[in-house]
Structure 1
Amino acid sequence: MKVSISTDKGKMDIGLIHEYLSKQSYWAKGRSYDLVEKSMANSLCFGAFDENDKQIGFARIATDYVVFAWLMDVFVVDDCKGKGIGKQLLQAILEHPNLTPVNGIGLRTEDAHDFYASFGFEEIPKPNTWMLKTKS
């Protein structure tokens, strides 16, 4: 299925994005609409749209545009999975001119290692060198 990919936040269906993230994703269950809106405002967002311009996928990047980028909130709506949309979305992200200078793109996944590996992502070779502080 051929889709169009856009970074125009004005085209993004925030209701659909919030619905998927807060109710269907394992990583953002319960995330409020306001948090979704704020996270999008502070990220480079990518939307996948079908031939009728209906949003069917989403991803966002937090980055300094030089050293590092973090890929987050990647999804394709359930009835469009398995049609290559995720591949088109990730390819558009990796080829985006504002991201090509970035030295590394990181992400976290529980269930899509093979998908990301097919694009050159690797498990962190020295995970003990990474640290994380979370809110308690």
Structure 2
Amino acid sequence: MPTTTPHDTTAYEVSDDPARLDVALIHHWLSTDAYWALGRPLATQQRAIAASHNFGAYLTASGRQVGYARVITDHATFAWLCDVYIDPAHRGRGLGGRLVDAVNAYLDPYELRRTMLATHDAHEVYRRAGFRELTRPDHLMQRGPH
């Protein structure tokens, strides 16, 4: 583990280069430790990555991936932020916020009407990035799970 201050911006970098993604590691993290994706099959994760714009957080010194986020969007009106995950050994250093900021910076030029996400336990991270609770949650519906 690097010796850094809690929000050391030089120890980590964020990139949306798909060639840098460690798909096996992402799958391991999500399918074994992320409450929303427990048991997700590798083939499903591969399809999700292929159909999304992906972001990784990496140790600057080694290039090893320590975080992940993806966004699904039509680039015109709507986006869904999902699968935000930070390796437990690197939590508490602002990486989740940096990933979300990178997603927001990527989406901002499109002037989307809405970007949404779902979270059980990271409301403060997302509030700092400009997300708010729904004013009319009764307007949302879902189909599934299947």
TM range (shorter): over 0.9
* Structure 2 counterpart of 1:104, from 101, 109, 114: 114
Q: Shift of the alpha carbon at 1:92?
A: 1.0
Partner of 1:37: 46
**Equivalences for residues 1-136 of structure 1 within 5 A:** 1-2=8-9, 3-51=12-60, 52-96=62-106, 99-100=107-108, 101=110, 102-136=112-146
**Gap regions ≥5 residues in structure 2:** 1-7
Q: Which runs of 4+ in 1 moved over 4 A?
A: none
The CA deviation at 1:71 is: 0.3
* Structure 1: distance between partners of 2:95 and 2:122: 14
Identical positions, percent: 35
In 2, Cα distance between the equivalents of 1:107 and 1:31?
A: 19
What are the Cα deviations for residues 7-52 of structure 1, in whole angstroms up to 9, with x where unaligned?
1111100111000100000000000111101100000000111111
TM-score normalized with structure 2 length = 0.88
The CA RMSD over aligned residues, in Å, is: 1.0
Letter in structure 2 aligned against 1:29:
L
- List runs of 5+ in structure 1 lacking aligned partners: none
How far does residue 135 in structure 1 lie from its aligned partner after superposition?
A: 3.8
Equivalent pairs counted in the alignment come to 134
TM-score normalised by L of structure 1: 0.94
User: Are the equivalent residues in 1 in contact too, given 2:54–2:68 (CA < 8 A)?
Assistant: yes
